[in-house]
Structure formats: structure tokens, C-alpha cells
Structure 1
Amino acid sequence: MRGWWQEITGLVLPVDCAGCGRPRTELCERCRVLIGGAAGSVPVRRVRPTPEPPGLPPVYAAGRYGDEVRAVVLAHKERGALGLAGPLGTALAAAVRRVGVTGTVLLVPVPSARRAVARRGHDATARIARAAARELRRGGAPARAVAALRQRRPVADQSGLGAAGRPVNLAGAVTAAGGAAGLLCAAPVVLVDDLMTTGASLTVAARAVEAAGGRVAGAAVVAGPHDEELHSDARRCR
């Protein structure tokens, strides 16, 4: 019910740009370019956290997480601006293309905690994964979004943990959903998420896919950190 109401109110009520606040547009052209995937966007880039967790697949990001991009991601995830799933999915699709899979590809979202999904009223990562798959199919690439992973135990909120605490928090917490093992073996998997910071969530998700017999070709995110933020993280970890 909450998701339906959010869809309706987004159509009938005036909105401001989720990124910069420009009036009467849910996402202005400048912010659309900043999140990536649109004409004129900066090229998709590979991002590596420092330290890089063992087992992290190659990760490609469409945009840089900060300011307007951060505001757009949070508006979709936390404030239910569901109309942003389209442009976020377009950005995610651009990152998926850089992974370089030929033929059918499975987009597998990093699973969110059930309580977080219930609080938000929607599964933000699964929603943009479906939008990305539609965008890829429109371009002729056979793609499916499959929620094939789940959290099998409660975990702490990752936002309050650093690079050392996140892998410990997630260790053994993600597994293949019931009946998904066969599907994960049917085509190369690209793990998808809205953003990447330490890489812990993607690493744990990759291990779960591989434990089920699947092959992870890489990972794609809407946004990754600025290069200078990566260097700053490295200094803190030392």
C-alpha cells in the first residue's frame, strides 16, 4: 500500500529535483548527468576500496557518491521517491555494460535487511536492478534481475561501521535464497547495489553466489567514492 501511494503522489504533486532542489522537476538534467548513464555523463570507472577485501569482484561505478548524487540515492532509498528508479537504473545499466558480459546476464542485487525494507516500504536495490535490466534489454542485451540472495541472520547497520567492522558484521550473513541455486548457475552473475564504500557487502554477496555454484563476472553500482576519498580511507586504515 505504501509503495502504491508513493507512486500516485509522485504523479500528482509538484516536486523539486531530488539532487539540487531545482523546482518542479523530480530530477534535473544536470543531476541526471551526475548520477551517470545519461548523455554527457562522466565515463563509468572501476573503483577499488583501500584496503580491498579479498574476494571482491571487479566493481564499476557510474557516478561519484557525494552532494547531488548522494541526495538522489537517498531520496529513492529512504524517502520513497520511486520515480527515480528509472534514471538510477539507467546509470546502473551503464556500469553493468562495463563488466563486459556477453550473452545473458543475471543482475543479482545485494540483499537488504528485512527490517530495512519494511521500514522503507520498498526494496530500493531490487527496484533499480529491475530498472537496469529493462534498460539493458532495450539495448538488445538479454538481462534478468533476480533477487537470488537473502540475509539469513540479522546484521547491524553498516553505516555506523568502518572498513574493519563491516566484514565481521556480514560474515556468513548472506546466502542463496531457497531454490535459487540452479538459477545462479544458469548465466554469469553481475552483483548490483546502489553504492560501494568498503566493498564488504559485495564481497560477502560474491561468496554466497560462488557457494551456490554460480560465477560472478563482476559488480556494478550507481555510485562509488571519489578517488581522493579512497586515498583518505587508505590513510585512516594505516
Structure 2
Amino acid sequence: MAGTVNQLPWRKVDGAPLCWLLPPRCVVCGDPGLPGCDLCEACRAILPAPRHACPRCALPQPRAGTCTSCTAAPPPLDAAHAAFAYTFPLDRLLPRLKFHRDFAAGRVLAQAMVDRFTGLPRPQALVPVPLHPARLRQRGYDQALELARPLARALHLPLHADLLRRTRATRAQSRLDADARRRNLLDAFRVDACGSALPHHVVLVDDVMTTGATLHAAARALRAEGVTRVEAWVCARVA
């Protein structure tokens, strides 16, 4: 895969340098950041990039290859890629973006995703996994869109933020087991193409992949409308 985390131009995630009056501070430990970087050298070195992962579900594996679960029952995703494992410091940074409006952490995570996914086959569209309108009003922003927007800009990919809609206010997935997560998301998504032809190859963008239930439900909705290849790019994968 092209690039390494240590090569990231961290403060250029939106396509132009960000000018600050104060030196950058590490978003993990608060120490001074590297020049033009929102991470210090020590914290950047410990970002937990997995060595091997199942190409269908992104689950970390001891060796390269498709996991036994995906071999026995292929998921609706043609491929899934996670930039990192959901361990420290991702398990601190992602909740800060998701629940606490920490957009500095979001910039770091988005740029990390840019670097990790640069060498992957290019889709025809990036589609962030949407929040239900009620939850979006409550939170005020969509963390998946906050990651997808700079990712699309940096990789010069079309962003279709309105292609997929969440039609049911589902229960919080974090409180459910795997079977309940799947039931919770039945018919939760709808494709809204507004009369336009759908792209054939779509990549769903989300912050965290746990059991994959949310991404699988979104992928099924896209496939039902004729999308032929659906992948997922996520910031972190829970083992």
C-alpha cells in the first residue's frame, strides 16, 4: 500500500495548509507536535496499523487471507479496509470526534485514512454512512461525513453525501449484541438517487467497524438498487 503514516502532511488534509499562531500540540498526549503535525513523534509511532486483515471484513488475522466466517458466509461487502485497529490511541480519538466535537482529532484521523487508502482501487463515489435526521439534529454533525469529506478531497473522488438515507431511528448499536444489531438495522437505509444513474462501484465511509452490521445494511440497500460493487473504508476495526 502506498505511503506510510510517517509521511503524512498532517496539516494539509483539506487541500491547503492551515495556518496557526501557536505551535501544534499532540492531540493524544498534549506534548508539542512535530512541525506541521497534530501528533508528537512518540504518539504517531504507536498508531496501531494492522499487519494482516481479512479482505472482506477487515478483521485482524494472524496471516493474510480471508477469514473462516467470510469464507463460509460471504458478507454483502466486496471488500473492507480499516486504517487502524480500535486500540489506543484510536479508542480515545474516535470518541472525541464522534461525541465531543473534537475536529482536531478528526483532522488527524482523516489524514491517516488518506495515507492508508491512497493505493486502493478508486471507486466511482464515496458515500458516508449517514445518521438518522433526529440524531444528526441532536449531535449537530455527522462524524462519518467529517471523515469522508477530506478523504474525497485529498483523493480526488466524488462525494455522494445524500445518496444514502437512514430512514429509521435505530437503537444505539453499542448496547446490542451481534444478532440484535442485525435486527436493529433491518430496512434502516434507503437509496435516494433523485433520478440519476447510480455509480457501479461505491465505497462506504464510517468511523468504526464492530460487527459490520451497519455497513452490511447500507451495502444491501445499495445492492438492491443496482450498485454492483460495494466496499467499506473505516478508520478503525474492533477486533
Q: Same fold (TM over 0.5)?
A: yes
Matches of 1:64 and 1:23, distance apart in 2: 23
Q: Give unmatched runs, 5+ long, in structure 2.
A: 1-19, 60-66
Residue 80 of structure 1 is matched in structure 2 by 101
Q: 1:58 to 1:186 in 2, by over 3 A?
A: closer
What are the residue-to-residue correspondences of 1:22-101 with 2, within 5 Å? 22-23=30-31, 26-32=38-44, 34-35=46-47, 45=53, 46=55, 47-48=58-59, 54-97=75-118, 99-101=120-122
Aligned-partner Cα distance in 2 for 1:222–1:211: 26
What's the C-alpha RMSD, in Å, of the aligned pairs?
Answer: 3.0
Question: In structure 2, how many angstroms separate the alpha carbons of the residues matched to 1:111 and 1:13?
Answer: 35
- Does residue 136 in structure 1 map to residue 155 in structure 2? yes
Q: 1:100 to 1:15 in 2, by over 3 A?
A: closer
Range moving further from structure 2, 87-96 or 58-67: 87-96
The answer to which of 111-120 and 123-132 deviates more is 111-120
Partner of 2:192: 177
Bigger relative CO (Cα 8 Å, ≥ 6 apart): 1
Is residue 221 of structure 1 aligned with residue 221 of structure 2? Answer: no
Question: Counterparts of 1:122 and 1:93 in 2: how far apart (Å)?
Answer: 21
* C-alpha separation in 1, matches of 2:43 and 2:130: 27
Q: 2:225 aligns with which of 191, 209, 212?
A: 212
Matched position secondary structure for 2:214: helix
Q: Is the CA contact 2:200–2:229 (under 8 Å) kept in the aligned structure 1?
A: no
Percent identity over paired residues: 31
SS in 1 for 2:158: strand
The one-letter code of the counterpart of 2:180 is G
Matched residue count: 202
Q: Identify which of 124, 127, 146 aligns with 1:105.
A: 124
Residue 62 of structure 1: SS of its match in structure 2?
A: strand
2:4 paired residue number: none
Which structure carries more helix by proportion? 1
Are the aligned partners of 2:126 and 2:158 in contact in 1 as well (CA < 8 Å)? Answer: yes
Contact 1:112 1:123 in 2 (8 A): yes
Q: Give 2:16's aligned residue.
A: none
CA-to-aligned-CA distance 1:61-92 (integer Å, 9 cap, x gap) = 11110221111111111111113333222233
- Give me the whole-angstrom Cα distance separating, in 2, the residues matched to 1:27 and 1:177: 39
State which of 128, 140, 154 in structure 2 corresponds to 1:121.
Answer: 140
- Deviation (angstroms), 1:144: 1.4
Q: 1:146 aligns with which of 139, 155, 160?
A: 160
Q: Aligned in 2, Cα 1:115/1:98: closer, same or farther, shift over 3 Å?
A: farther
Q: Return the TM-score normalized by structure 2.
A: 0.72
Q: Which shows bigger deviation, 65-74 or 84-93?
A: 84-93
Deviations 1:33-56 (A, max 9, x none): 5557xxxx6668441388557423
Q: 1:96, 1:190 within 8 Å by CA — same for their partners in 2?
A: no
Structure 1 unmatched ranges of 5 or more = 1-10, 138-142, 230-238
Contact 1:44 1:95 in 2 (8 A): no
Q: Is 1:162 matched with 2:177? A: yes
